[in-house]
Amino acid sequence: MMSCEEEFTGPETDCTLRTLYTLDHHHVRAARAYDVRTNPPTRLVNGSIEYGLAFQWGFMQDDDPLPFPYNEYFLDSIDFANPSVADIRITGREINRTYNFVREDCQIELESPDGNLHLELMDSGEEIAENRFAVFDYRTRRVTIDTSSVLLDTFLFIEFRLGHFFSYEEIAQQFARDHPGEYDTISIQQIENRTRK
């Protein structure tokens, strides 16, 4: 007879907050596109549109400075030296951004006029992770390249959405409810910042 303990999928508990975290693992997950005119939103898959936003982000890597919103993707460090204020250094930026924060055990909600963040403490507080989604207006437009008319995918940034415990589909549903009739198709890119031992 065998028994397997179920894998724990909820947030951790009993975490100790350290003063400084260096986030050295940054990841951008594959983008997904959705038609938000349907209920629920329909995922669009054709072998190329799923990669268009990743290509756009990849081409921006050569820009100096990196344009918004890409210059907001990655966090270098989080300093909790003050009991209610956190200083966050953004990768490639010369400034720190200050956030007010509220902590509930291993969950930390940060607020700033520039946007909110959600942090998850892991490994009893030794590790920290930040996860959010960048939502883009996905459009196709016709352009002329060397006298040939081609369709070009374009992605215009709309907003960041906090992504703790949400899937792409749930983010697309939330977005469609919050913006009824405003957009036809969107593309969503998941951004992850975390410490790594």
**Per-residue pLDDT tens digits for 44-57:** 997 777 777 777 76
Give mean pLDDT, residues 21-39: 93
For the record, the structure tokens of 65 come out as: 């400075």
Looking at the DSSP bridge assignments, the partners of residue 135 are: 159, 188
- As to burial, measured by CB atoms within 10 angstroms (0-12 exposed, 13-18 middle, 19+ buried), residue 186 is buried
Residue 7 has pLDDT above 50, yes or no: no
Task: Count CB-CB contacts under 10 A for residue 120.
Answer: 18
Residue 18 has pLDDT above 70, yes or no: yes
Residue 137 has pLDDT above 80, yes or no: yes
Contacting residues for 44 by C-beta, under 8 A, at least 6 apart: 33, 34, 35, 50, 185
Position of tokens 């792409």?
A: 168
Residue 191 has pLDDT above 90, yes or no: yes
> What kind and span of H or E run contains 141?
strand 127-145
pLDDT mean across residues, the chain: 85
Give mean pLDDT, residues 67-91: 90
pTM: 0.83
Distance CA 106, CA 190 (A): 21
